[in-house]
Amino acid sequence: MAVRLGELVAALGGELHGPVHQLVHRIAPLESGDAGSIAFLSNPKYRAQLLTTQAGCVIVSPAVLEEAVARGAAIVTADPYLYFARLTQWWAERVRPRPAAGIHPSAVVDATAVIGQNVHIGPLAVVEAGAILEDGVIVGPHCTVGARARIGADTRLAPRVTIGFDCVVGARCLFHSGVVIGADGFGFAPHQGAWEKIEQLGAVRIGDDVELGANTCVDRGALEDTTIGNGVKLDNLVQIAHNVHIGDHSAMAGCVGVAGSARIGKHCTVGGAGMILGHLTLADHVHVSSGTLISRSVLKPGLYSGAFPFDENANWEKNAATLRQLHALRDRIRTLEKQVKS
């Protein structure tokens, strides 16, 4: 890969301070960039890095323009992080050509499946009866698209993604390897000490521009559908239980779990290993810190936390032991207060 700065700015905008013919061979962090690299600075508080970076060109905001041009080429833009994101997209399109349209001869595609224009179905994939793949869909090796499932235009399934029967996926989604859409929700009626299965008769509906990380699961609903809004981003190993609704543009980091029938608003975020209990409501713009268990509804936007602060083991042991008597300590304080008062 070798791109001229002028070509980048022509494609992505920004104000170039430097030679249009200067070549860029890679995108790199400021710390490790060399003369053939383009790097970015999004947080002005790290502007000191501009003094030491070897990167041939830096993407910066107007606030640091002076330092940036003092050291070499620069592209100035209002939001360098966004510019960087778009640069990676532009770059990826060039270094990772999309697989050619067509169905690999080893794939098993039912004759009743409806396959759009310019669809790629990789080796050893399975597409079941009545499934619909809209134009430009990419189905990786070892994927299964279940009966009557529908995959929206330009959605990409990485190798080994499983889409259950009757599930619906929007356009321009990206699901990573190991994703399971439409396994049964976890529903049982207790009966004489055993569990009687509640068959899960709903499906899963996923909006447009959704990204799901590796080995993430979204279960089908019991009676109605589990739904995931447009622009939602879920990281790896996330568990979305049956009948959950996730609002548009919410994002969740790795190892998060959302229990059955929870309703998550729009523009929410959940940090790694956060856990949302069932049948709760989270308003729009609720943010949950890593490792926090949300045990009742949160109707006010804001940041909510609840992780135990870690410590050296010996300190933790003492504090944890005392914690088990915390309520008793409170009573002792009350008693003291009365005694002191009297």
Residues with a known catalytic role: 242
Question: Can you tell me the distance from the alpha carbon of 318 to that of 214, in angstroms, rounded to the nearest whole number?
Answer: 39
Residue whose token pair is 């990281």: 235
Residues in Cβ contact with 247 at an 8 Å cutoff, skipping those fewer than 6 apart? 229, 232, 264, 265, 266, 267, 268, 284
* Whole-number Cα distances in Å, 274 to 12, 205, 236, 243, 271: 36, 23, 13, 19, 6
**Residue 98 CB-half CA count within 13 A:** 16
| Half-sphere CA count of 329, side-chain side, radius 13 A | 7
Fill in the DSSP letter of residue 337.
Answer: H
d(CA 247, CA 281): 11
- 70's torsion region: left (phi>0), alpha (psi -120 to 50) or beta? alpha
